[in-house]
Amino acid sequence: MARSDSASSVMQAALPKVRAILAGFRRDGFPVDVEGIAASQGMHVMTCRMPPNVLGALNLTSEGWVLLLAQQQTPPRRRWTVAHELGHHLLHSGRAHPIVRTGAAAYDWTLEVEANAFARELLMPVEACETALAGHPESEWPSVVSETFGVSRSAARWRLVEMKLAQPPEVLVPAL
């Protein structure tokens, strides 16, 4: 099975879990209270200093799971990081998420793809996105998703790409 197929199958298996969390967690519309959801899953959210380029991590302590967040994240970035780390916790058997990696080549990036997919569905469920977009012109869709779900415009654009409602951004490849 290819990496993308593996990530896709893990996410398909996780969809009922995401939907159960959303249905079982009392909320009044969107954006969802992602830190409340993390607490409902037995996680304590804590802000601290982190190494450069690390926004969040999981740590198992004698008192339970701690979701560590890097300081000075914007509210949308903080929400994404909490949802992403919650995805690691629920999809990857609660394994501690390493803060320091010993080489990108040795790291299983499929875990990151899966945690991102979990975060997208938790923060911006497909059906809720479709409802939010109804009646808005296409040019406003990234802003509508961003504002409705409390996510960055970048996260909103990627959700629209995933839903096949937008084209992925062009990737610039340097000339050889």
pLDDT tens track, the chain, 176 positions: 333 455 567 667 777 878 888 877 756 688 999 999 999 888 999 999 988 888 888 888 888 889 999 998 999 999 999 999 998 888 876 555 554 444 555 566 788 888 888 899 999 999 999 999 999 999 999 999 999 999 999 999 999 998 999 888 765 555 54
Look at the block and give the residue holding tokens 């960055």. Answer: 152
Query: Beta strand 56-61 with 43-48: parallel, antiparallel or unpaired?
Result: unpaired
Spell out the CATH class of 3-99+109-123. mainly alpha
Yes or no: say if 125 and 83 are a contact pair by the CB < 8 Å rule.
no
CB atoms under 10 Å from CB of 8, counted, come to 15
Yes or no: say if 93 and 136 are a contact pair by the CB < 8 Å rule.
no
Look at the block and give the residue holding tokens 């084209």. Answer: 167
> Do you find a cis peptide bond into 31, omega within 30 degrees of 0?
yes
Tell if the pTM clears 0.75, that is, is over it: yes
How far is residue 120's CA from residue 126's CA, in Å, rounded to a whole number? 9
CB neighbours of 152 closer than 8 A, spacing ≥ 6? 74, 76, 77, 80, 146
Backbone φ, ψ for residue 8 (5° rounding): -65, -45
* DSSP-derived 3-state class of residue 13: helix
pLDDT at 104: 53
Look at the block and give the residue holding tokens 């198992």. Answer: 60
Q: What is the residue extent of each domain of the chain?
A: 3-99+109-123
